[in-house]
Chains A and B, each alone.
Chain A
Amino acid sequence: MTLFVVMSFGAAAIWLAVVTVVCVAVRSQRRVVAEPAASRIILWGGAVFPTVTLFALLTYAFWLMPTLRPSPTFRDATDLRVEVTGRQYWWQVVYFHRGLKIAAANEIRLPVGRRIEFSLKSDDVIHSFWIPSLGGKMDMIPGRENRLSLMAQRTGVFRGACTEFCGTSHAFMSLTAVTMEPEAFDAWLASQAKASINVAGEGRALFLRHGCGSCHRVAGTQATGAAGPDLSHLGSRQMLAAGIVANTEDNIAGFIANPGAIKPGAAMPAFSMLAPQDIRAIAAWLKGLR
């Protein structure tokens, strides 16, 4: 923001100077300037002035840059780092905080006023991570880790998206970013580190019985799969299927029965062969995981 203001003033000053020079030149069109004087004008006005001005603005921009890059004083032990891995077609999110490793998916929560480190990775193809309201975009490239630093300034819910074509459902790969007051965030993160209080629901047995735990993890159960999104607190997320549909019990049931209808090319197979009441029970249980 400050960069934008400073640059705008700088641009305005240059524009005014140029317009003034043009006006003077138009007024005195009949006066012929001697060659040495003309050379001086070209030297000072055409070379020295722009060099000094642009150099000053550039220096200022460089001076601001460290705050946009990963902080040199970042310490894994105390500061929050969020690792986001792009997968076809969802986001794996892991919060590293005070020695804890807290897994989530498809929704990122951030405390207002704290600069957060992001590690951006990919396991399959190139994705790109972009939450326009919070900052610039950064590619997620298989085999390397890109760093990004963001700081939210006010609370709210912002939409992010994958901005590098990554396959059939690239357009259905969104992200919800929720910014919260720091105290609320800390409480939320602490709750995410634990199993959901509703984990003992009746859908749990069905979830395990049909093998959902091969791909999905639900904290506090035997389900420890990692091929698909972590569902430990699915019910508390705003959106379902990586920001595509509202997180309702009906939509969860619909996704279980036929993921391809909501997300073409999704890796999850259709479970339409399950008894409808089993699907409802699993959906109700998942929705209850807050």
Chain B
Amino acid sequence: MHVRWKHLAVGLAILPIVALFATWIGFFNVGASSGHFKITEWFLHFAMRSAVRTYALAVDAPERLPDNGIPPAAAHFARGCAICHGAPGEPRSPAALAMLPQPPDLSAVVEQWEDAELFRIVKHGVRFTGMPAWPTQARDDEIWSMVAFLRKLPAMDPATYRLLAYRNRPQPPMHASRFEDALAECTRCHGGDGMGFSPLTPVLAGQKEAYLLESLNAYIEGRRPSGMMQLPVQAVDRRHLPALASHFAVLKRHAVVQPLKDDRVGQGEQIAQHGRPAQKVPACLGCHQNSERNPSYPRLDGQPEAFLAAQLKLFREGSRSGTPFSHLMENAAEHLSDTDIENVSAYFSSLPPED
């Protein structure tokens, strides 16, 4: 029999209809029990590695990973990642091992990836695998902290991990319905004294109560993007939020760093007190002076410098929100240079906490 062009054309036209029909009658088995065919598995993995490699070309990796973000990243890992990937001293659960594809033990595989590739996977997740994207696409700074943590993961011993992730307390429950559990979820990163375990974690001790509560609500409603905060806040029963805010508001703020007077502090003070009128930079202290100012304007005295700088950069790029007043900061930060941000952050972090 001769295959004519006409036969070929008709065959090609019918093929999708046949495939659709086969799908409709349930010909293809989607059960995970039997696993993929070897060739399917090879192809999917090949496609995934290639796509990550190619898309990572567009990622600008920092020269040095932010190691000061490792504590919050470890705490986030404990809640968001370890459930599938396991952690030092915590092997993957049988349920995770039965997933298709099986989520890898990261300590064995992170070395196969470049920083930019890890960033790409953590930020965007991997389709068809169950690996979710980062809870927000607006916080690259958090993702770099996570990459910094992943780099340390292969060599991390269980004791170090437990200290970073839980501060040596019991593993937190998936849903904190009791106030004590809700508080424990906060103190894993912010400390029992509210001073925080990382220079990228804000000091909550003595912060204004209204500001804390509005920020928590903003995290829950997704108005203030942060993967590291959205996850724990959503694990907490909402009715505990006011009590959590007032709990931290009454703690006493300690001086973290010795007040030092260097050039940066002096220049930061100039901006804080007078702004830079010609460049439409307002004076920080017009709003951030603690007494009598709007309770939605946070205290900045004694906050860690790295945290303040990171937040100012987020405001400057327009990806930080929070209280109903937070848009005021976008105008304020718009015309600050990187140096200005460093100086202003140094100034506020050098201020001795006032009480």
Q: Which residues of A contact B279 (CB under 8 A)?
A: 123
Contact partner of A226 among B274, B285, B330, B331, CB < 8 A?
Answer: B274
> Interface-forming stretch among B139-147, B189-197, B218-226, B320-328?
B320-328
Closest to B297 in A: A211
Q: Is the CB of A209 within 8 A of B294?
A: yes
Residue of A nearest to B324 (CB): A273
B287 CB contact (under 8 Å) in A211, A224, A270: A211
Select one of B277, B280, B281, B294 contacting A211, CB under 8 A: B294
Q: For residue B278, which residues in chain A have a CB less than 8 angstroms away from its CB? A: 123-124
Query: What is the distance, in angstroms, from B126's C-beta to the closest C-beta of chain A?
Result: 40
In the complex, chain A residues whose CB is within 8 Å of the CB of B158: none
Q: Is the CB of B284 within 8 A of A227?
A: no
Q: Which of A186-234 contact B (CB under 8 A)?
A: 205, 208-215, 223-228
A273 surroundings in chain B (CB, below 8 A): 324-325
Q: Is B283 an interface residue (CB 8 A)?
A: yes
The answer to whether A215 and B286 have CB atoms under 8 Å apart is: yes
Is A267 engaged at the interface, CB distance under 8 Å to the other chain? yes
**Cross-chain contact A269 with B294 (CB below 8 angstroms):** no
- Which of B287, B292, B325 contacts A214 (CB under 8 A)? B287
> Is B232 an interface position by the 8 A CB rule?
no
Contacts of A208 on B, CB cut-off 8 Å?
292-293
A211 touches B275 (CB 8 A): no
Q: Please, what's the 1-or-0 string for A109-134, where 1 marks a CB less than 8 Å from any CB in chain B?
A: 00000000000000110000000000
Residues of chain A within 8 A (CB-CB) of B297 are: 211
B282 within 8 A of partner (CB): yes
**Quick one: which of B244-288 are within 8 Å of A by CB?**
274-287
Size of A's binding interface in residues, CB under 8 A: 22
Complex Cα distance, B294 from A123, in Å, reads 31
Shortest CB–CB separation between residue A35 and chain B, in angstroms? 71
Complex contact B328–A227 (CB within 8 A): no
**Chain B residues positioned under 8 Å from A213 (CB to CB):** 283, 286
Complexed CA–CA distance, A226 and B286 (Å): 11
Tell me which residues across on chain A come within 8 A of B292, comparing CB atoms: 205, 208-209
Residues of chain B from 277 to 314 with CB closer than 8 A to chain A in the complex: 277-287, 292-294, 297
Can you list 7 contacts pairing A with B, beta carbon distance less than 8 Å?
Answer: A123-B278, A124-B278, A214-B283, A226-B274, A227-B280, A268-B331, A273-B324
Q: Which residues of A contact B (CB under 8 A)?
A: 123-124, 205, 208-215, 223-228, 267-270, 273
Given A209-B293, A211-B328, A214-B282, 10 other A-B contacts at CB below 8 A?
Answer: A208-B292, A211-B287, A214-B284, A225-B283, A226-B274, A227-B276, A227-B280, A227-B282, A267-B331, A269-B328
